[in-house]
Every structure is written in C-alpha cells, then in structure tokens.
Amino acid sequence: MKVTGFRTRSYYFMMNRKLGDANGPIGNARSAGSFLFIDTDEGITGVSLGGSPALGKFGPLIVGEDPRGVVGLWKKMCDFAFKGGVEGQDRAAISAIDVALWDLKAKINGEPLWRTLGASEGKAKAYASGIDMPLSDEELAAFYGRMADQGIDAGKLKVGLDMDDDLRRIQIVKDQLSRVNRRPHLMIDSNEYWSPKQAIPPTRRSTSSRWASGRPASRARCRSPTWRPASSCRWR
C-alpha cells in the first residue's frame, strides 16, 4: 500500500453563540477550518482536522510511502523541518498529517483508533470548556449545568480580565459540576494574557481558594497563564 496524494477542504460556519477569551472578550460567532485527506492506492483515505499552508511543504514527503509506518513518517517530516524548528505553520502541518496517518492506519487494520494506539478501552476522561468569556453568569450556569446533566464533573473556565469576576464565575462552574462530583475538577485558562508577574497572584487565589461552599476542588489546574515563552503551571 502506498500514499498516492493528499488534499484539503475548507469549511466555514456560524455558531449559535459567540466564543471568546481574555484576548477577545467580546467573542466571535464565526468559525472556519479545514479537513486534510490522505489517499492511498487501495482506496482507503485517512482524515484529520486542521493543517496549514505548510502542507504543501510536508505532504510530498509521504507520497509514495507506506502509510502504515506512521512513526517513521513523522520522524521524516520532523527531520525535514529540523533547521527551522518544528514550530508554527510547520508544526500545524506535521500534526495534521500525523493524525490523518493514524486514522488511515486504524482503517487499514479494520479497528477503532484507540485499539491501534494500544489503549485498553475506547473511553477517555472529558472536561467541559465553553470558551465562555462572553457568557453572562446565567448563561455560564446554564452551559455547565447541561454538561453536568451529561455526567461531566470537570470544567475549564476562561479568565484573566478581573479577579473578582473570575472567582465568582469559578464558583458558578463549581456549583454546577458539584451535582456530579462533590469535588469537581476545575481549570482556568487565561490564554497567555498575563505576564509571569501578573499570573502568580490570581493563579494562587483561584487554584487554592476553598470558595463559598467550603470544599476545595479535587484538582485545580492553570493552563497557559502567561505569554510565551513562559511555561505553564500546574497544581494538584
């Protein structure tokens, strides 16, 4: 079996509400993206979301190759990008190709992807994230309430503009998810809005506070608190 080519298809749609974070708190209801398709000479196609203009740079590297050698093809692409670094558009292209190749390998094997990857079952822990900065308190409670109705006990809240607002909204998320788990898993994400110095006080308060109910969350995590290249932080 050989890869015969690759192609992309773009899409655009309007959502039923705006998504936003600290960098764009007003939000945007428009969304767009693309699919990547990797075709083979046996009529089996691998599919992934994403990609970048750099697909034209890395896609030819896999044409004519056996798609079942996913790790080797990933290494080949990374080696090709080595001098410039596997970052930005190059990383997006390599990632999209890698995902499509794994999808293709699972289809060739005639089994679900989780089994191809070596997992013991086809389930994984999920958390809710509404990209929810534009939501009012009432809309925030309704969203995480719907997630709790589905049995989800973990949530990630967009924060970063106002500490008092953030703590109040964290409590709203916690109250809803506590219907599933007395100590839900809570996360905050400022999307690199803070500097390292700005990040320390709010992350300490929001991840260590016991909040109004008097019980801490079972786990608190802070994602992307500072602008790059500052690293993320995590508390357990």
CATH number, residue 54:
3.30.390.10
| Residue range 117-150, pLDDT digits in tens | 999 999 988 999 999 999 999 999 999 999 999 9
Same-domain pairing of 87 and 50: yes
| Residue range 79-110, pLDDT digits in tens | 999 877 888 899 999 999 999 999 999 999 99
Beta strands in 20-159 (DSSP E): 28-40, 45-49, 128-129, 154-158
pLDDT at 206: 61
Same-domain pairing of 103 and 140: no
| 218, two tokens | 């079972």
- Residues paired with 32 in a beta bridge: 12
| 15, two tokens | 């959502």
Q: Rounded to whole angstroms, how far apart are CA atoms 157 and 203?
A: 13
Sheet holding 128-129, edge to edge: 128-129, 154-158, 185-189, 219-223, 233-234
Same-domain pairing of 36 and 133: no
Q: Rounded to whole angstroms, how far apart are CA atoms 172 and 134?
A: 15
| 39, two tokens | 């075709």
pLDDT at 90: 94
Same-domain pairing of 105 and 180: no
Same-domain pairing of 84 and 148: no
Per-residue confidence at 221, pLDDT binned at 50, 70, 90?
low
Same-domain pairing of 161 and 101: no
- In 3D, which of 205, 207, 166 has the Cα closest to residue 187? 207
The total domain count for the chain is 2
pLDDT at 146: 97
Q: In this model, does residue 188 exceed pLDDT 50? A: yes
Same-domain pairing of 110 and 10: yes
pLDDT at 190: 87
Q: Rounded to whole angstroms, how far apart are CA atoms 84 and 207?
A: 37
Mean pLDDT of 52-60: 94
Q: In this model, does residue 211 exceed pLDDT 50? A: no
Mean pLDDT of 206-229: 52
* Between 160 and 207, the higher pLDDT residue: 160
| Residue range 17-45, pLDDT digits in tens | 999 999 999 999 999 999 999 999 999 99
Same-domain pairing of 49 and 13: yes
Q: The tokens 């320390």 sit on which residue?
A: 200
* Strand pairing report for 3-19 and 28-40: antiparallel
Same-domain pairing of 10 and 111: yes
Is the backbone of residue 92 left (phi > 0), alpha (psi -120 to 50) or beta?
A: alpha
Q: Rounded to whole angstroms, how far apart are CA atoms 187 and 97?
A: 30
CB 179 within 8 A of CB 211: no
Give the global pTM.
0.80
Domain that holds residue 226: 128-234
Q: Cα–chain-centroid distance for residue 31? A: 15
Same-domain pairing of 133 and 228: yes
Task: Please report whether residue 123 resides in a domain.
Answer: no
